[in-house]
Structure 1
Amino acid sequence: FFSPISRCLEPPAEVPACMAADRKRARSPPAESCSGNGFGASADRNGCAWRHGNSWASQGSQSQHGNAPGTSLPVWQHRQAIVECIKAHRVVVIVGETGSGKSTQIPQFLLKEGYLSVACTQPRVISAITLSARVASEMGTRCGDTVGYAVRFDNVTSECTRLRYVTDGILLQECMLEPSFAPYDVVIIDEAHERSISTDLLLCLLKRSAHSRLKVVIMSATLEASKFSAYFDGAPVLQIEGKQYPVAIVHAPRPAPDYAAATVDEVKRILREEQDQGHILAFLTGEAEIEDACAEIKRFDAQGRLQVLPLYAALGPAEQRRVFEPSRCQKVIFCTNIAETSVTIDGVSFVVDCGHRKEKHYDAMARVETLQVLPISQASARQRAGRAGRTKPGKCFRVYTEGFHNQLARETTPEILRSNITSFVLQLLQLGFSTGEIEALPGLDPPPAPAVHSALATLRLLGAVDPQGRLSAWGSHMCRLPIDATLAHTLLQAHELDVTEQVAGVIAMLSVPNPFTSTRQQRDCAARAFHHFKHQDGDHITLHTIMDHYLWACGDEGEGAAQFCYNHWLHERHMHQAAQVRQQLLQTLQRLGAPSRTRLIRDPSDRLREAFFRGGWALQLAYRVQTFYYHTVTDGRRCCLHHSTAVKGSEKDAWVVYHEAVAQGGEDEVPALRICSRADPEWVLRLAGEASSDRCPRPDDPLAPALTPNPNRDTHRWLADLWTPQALQAVAEL
């Protein structure tokens, strides 16, 4: 299943003695080997773990939910009205308050009414899995039979499955092949208020679907119902009350300088002072904060009477399931906004809300995307507080003041208004939208015109759109790859440098969370392990080295994937997921007829750097202005190198290609360029004299029809329009 891609490389070296000593002090040995990963796993013939989806889903439903039919939920009182309304109208908007039972019961109503195929979308993997397990239990069937779920790399359905809980991304992939939603009688868009790009695109496709018998149900607990109703030409709106116990809201008396520390301190105060022994659910913004908080509370709990658990998207299903399992101990759960909606954790009496979340924001004019920690919306604050009142009365402690809360935005900003929509526009083109239709897209919240123009310009630059604004063959190939448009372009042309497999591995590593352990007490050990792989010319080579050694360990000659990850302080699940992404990309290339197997190269470092330089083209370059500081070429923004990068910022690193810019700390902090590699000056000079559509493909290139030479193009004029005068001057000085 996973085969090493560079047999000529030496196998991974032994862990240094200091690292081994650190590991023994700070970490217990793994409980499983490569032949089993602890959550219903078995191994393929190369020793890599894989999971049989049915096993834990059905077990979880039995242990967690029993056979409760859900008839006591408020939505049952409206069953007949809901069914009749859906029968009478093509689109129905349902606003169901927290605890109403809409996500589990309404799909069952439709099955019992005779609808043969129902899809219910969820914004997160954990929601799709837990809801399908619960509904299967209520219906007395095994997950994967009548009820199943489909998420990335895990499809627990069968030919007899009538109700599928799917992530919005999975349903969108199906739409690329069948835009009319013909396989379904009913499509339910649940938690529509989250407004991901995939959800907005699905709503756009559902509005123009020619499938006349298709029923569409839009559901959420906090929803601007009139807005959705107007978008679907006056669709009826049904209101369902929730089963919510009273929740007391307590705000902090004064602002906290550090929301993460304040959240941990509030959890400690609850454990010391509150009489109720109910579970505690505390919201933070990311994995590192959560792991540090868990470690701090474990140290605080000297008697070991607590069960301290993390909950975030990068955790494996088995680790996420622990949050829902019954426990005699009081649970303290630190989570991201993954637990805001669609997930019920029984026994939660206290919620601690940090008031922040991580969001990506894209500057269309500067063509720079940054990951920022920002305040949540009032709608999110209500959802978080509601987690404390699902099964009994509770309290919500907000570590921010009431004045801060009153200044929050009412609703969360839709992703389409704050993100890079290049891939979104590419999907619309693939679905038959013209550039004119995209520029005048009648969405719930149409993307800003500068963002649309920037996306179209980027796609033209990458060769995905021809001069007439139509999707090119190259763009069609890009759309078939389930990755960002720029990365898809990088992968498709990697075969010209004979590094397709290496580039696929690096892109896979960029598609999963940080593979190195990130708790505070293990960070130094992980940093030393990272140094073991670090390459001075850039992080893309470092990621390739890690993936290559991991694939070697998965084979018969290596020490096994689990032991390799343990020795080098790597998350085994993250590495396994990256290997799956790599395999998926290579298989997709084979289906497209593109070369996916390349000849062995003893040292692919320079070619790998050049492949990502070509892929990013003129968009993700920066030039050095002083040690460690750079300016981006598209807007002249001052940036520094991220602390994790292998690039030193010396004179040798005058030009770098970067993956993303990450916002840091306060407003005065400059963005940090993350995942950087050195760009050779001769590449920059060559770029200044050519564009992607100006180069002639090799005669034997199977993708040659996608590359159409354009001898009339004024490339210098094009570069002058795209880069700042200072960047052009930096090129001239080369």
Structure 2
Amino acid sequence: MRPAPAGVRKIILSTNIAETSITIDDVVFVIDSGKVKEKSFDALSRVSMLKTVWVSKASVLQRKGRAGRCRPGICFHLFSRFRFNNMQEFQVPQLLRMPLQELCLQTKLLAPSSCLIAEFLSKAPQPPPTHAIQSAVQMLKIIDALDQNEDLTDMGFHLADLPVEPHLGKMVLCAVVLKCLDPILTIACTLAYRDPFTLPTESSQKRAALQSRRRFTSNTFSDHMALLRAFQAWQKARTEGWERSFCERNFLSQSTMDMILGMRTQLLGQLRAIGFVRARGGSDIRDVNLNSENWAVVKAALVAGMYPNMVHVNRKTSLLSTNREKKVHFHPTSVLSQLQIKENSSSKSAQTLPTDWMIYDEMSRGHRMASVRCCSMVTSITVAVFAAGTKLLSPAIQEPAVQKRNGK
């Protein structure tokens, strides 16, 4: 960052990334709010929460250290010494506040075969709660990554090989079987990283950003379609040399798009390495993309991967509900948010939705209200066929493992 000109004071607004990741030499004064937004995961309700909490003493010292890197500086702490003395020494470890499915899957590869996952993780310096481990293990059983004895299934072995979360890995493997790999690669990598759409601060720009997102949906009632079409349009603009202008016009992050492209390449390379995508013949890149333009098939792969993240639309009560929440709302960034169903309202928004079911990527809670992010409407038939597990797809999933063992 360039130094401020003579007679000009530079003011920097920053998140906690400035604690350790960014050093700006000419900063003299630091104002420390003492707060941080911290993401946590409730293993019982399987809901993510973004809370504003007090920082740790270690973070306070890090923030203090940003002042006066090259000359004497001053740090103003917006909290009392009593508050500081009652802060935790260090931040709560990520192991204690994040979903554990991916960790539990890797544990099965590292731990002795006779050792249960909970027993292995209990040896950590600060082990996660038992109920959190049990919830993660149960979820891995639901997606057929573990059997009832906590042993890895064929699906589980393949999911452990992929550099994404288990439910996204399952989505990708099902896409190979359903021959719609390319769009699912894009969607899975986007969900694994972050939303490429930016959030403007001005209200007029916020409306324009939501309209831009909605244009990419092609009237499909799907946030996943918006992510897919936005990436495809960016790729086209990239080949023509105007991708930066495209991102500015459509409220997209250029750096996020570049990262998603790199993740796609890495994930496709891993699929080649484990035998799901071959160089030629059956299961080559053309074969696994025969249905990539068929949105119904793409949604089938989404359902197979997202299950049990399902929302039901009750036409009588005009409520959205899940198997754990009686009432949920769309996240404001969803293209479905303007169709938000209101309780005890004469609005016919429930009737405007084409089906009674939808999938979602993540559920979060704020201000006592649960909201679902990144949703897509799906048909009842798709849910009935693809939300029950991978039994119908298991022969195709086992095939690469058999070939690998035979040395092919």
Q: Normalising TM by the smaller chain, what interval?
A: 0.7 to 0.9
CA contact (8 A) 2:306 2:359 kept: yes
Give RMSD over aligned pairs.
2.9
Q: What is aligned with 2:180?
A: 499
- 1:621 Cα shift? 1.3
Q: What is aligned with 2:330?
A: 641
Give, in whole Å, the separation in 2 of the partners of 1:610 and 1:344: 47
- 1:605 Cα shift? 2.1
CA contact (8 A) 1:509 1:547 kept: no
> Residue type matched to 2:263 in 1?
V
| 1:10-60 superposed Cα distances (whole Å, 9 cap, x missing partner) | xxxxxxxxxxxxxxxxxxxxxxxxxxxxxxxxxxxxxxxxxxxxxxxxxxx
Q: Within 5 A, what are the aligned runs for 1:24-423?
A: 322=1, 326-328=3-5, 330-341=9-20, 343-400=22-79, 405=84, 408-423=87-102
- 1:491 Cα shift? 0.8
Q: What is aligned with 1:520?
A: 201
Change (3 A) 1:374 1:609: farther
Change (3 A) 1:703 1:646: farther
| 1:285-336 superposed Cα distances (whole Å, 9 cap, x missing partner) | xxxxxxxxxxxxxxxxxxxxxxxxxxxxxxxxxxxxx3xx555454322222
Change (3 A) 1:613 1:342: closer
Partner secondary structure for residue 379 of structure 1: helix
Give, in whole Å, the separation in 2 of the partners of 1:468 and 1:631: 32
Q: What is aligned with 2:392?
A: 695
Q: What is aligned with 1:475?
A: 156
Report which stretch shifted further, 382-391 or 495-504. 382-391
In the alignment, structure 1 residue 573 sits paired with structure 2 residue 248: no
Change (3 A) 1:337 1:390: same
Q: What is aligned with 1:465?
A: 146
Give, in whole Å, the separation in 2 of the partners of 1:569 and 1:461: 37
Unaligned ranges ≥5, structure 1: 1-321, 707-734
In the alignment, structure 1 residue 656 sits paired with structure 2 residue 345: no
> Residue type matched to 1:531 in 2?
R
Change (3 A) 1:700 1:676: closer
- 1:653 Cα shift? 4.4
Give, in whole Å, the separation in 1 of the partners of 2:319 and 2:330: 7
Higher RCO by CA contacts (8 Å cutoff, separation 6 or greater): 2
- 1:639 Cα shift? 1.8
- Across the two proteins, how many residue pairs are aligned to each other? 374
> Residue type matched to 1:421 in 2?
L
> Residue type matched to 1:509 in 2?
T
CA contact (8 A) 1:629 1:641 kept: no
Q: What is aligned with 1:177?
A: none
> Residue type matched to 2:179 in 1?
D
Q: What is aligned with 2:384?
A: 685
- Percent of aligned pairs sharing the same letter: 28
- 1:400 Cα shift? 4.7
Give, in whole Å, the separation in 1 of the partners of 2:214 and 2:175: 27
Question: Among 169, 189, 192, which residue is 1:488 paired with?
Answer: 169
Change (3 A) 1:704 1:428: closer
CA contact (8 A) 1:536 1:646 kept: no
In the alignment, structure 1 residue 428 sits paired with structure 2 residue 110: no
| 1:123-159 superposed Cα distances (whole Å, 9 cap, x missing partner) | xxxxxxxxxxxxxxxxxxxxxxxxxxxxxxxxxxxxx
Give, in whole Å, the separation in 2 of the partners of 1:426 and 1:369: 20
Give, in whole Å, the separation in 2 of the partners of 1:645 and 1:547: 17
Give, in whole Å, the separation in 2 of the partners of 1:604 and 1:625: 28
TM-score (norm 1): 0.47
Question: Among 508, 521, 539, which residue is 2:223 paired with?
Answer: 539
- 1:700 Cα shift? 9.2
- 1:510 Cα shift? 1.9
- 1:686 Cα shift? 3.9
Partner secondary structure for residue 608 of structure 1: helix
Give, in whole Å, the separation in 1 of the partners of 2:318 and 2:78: 36
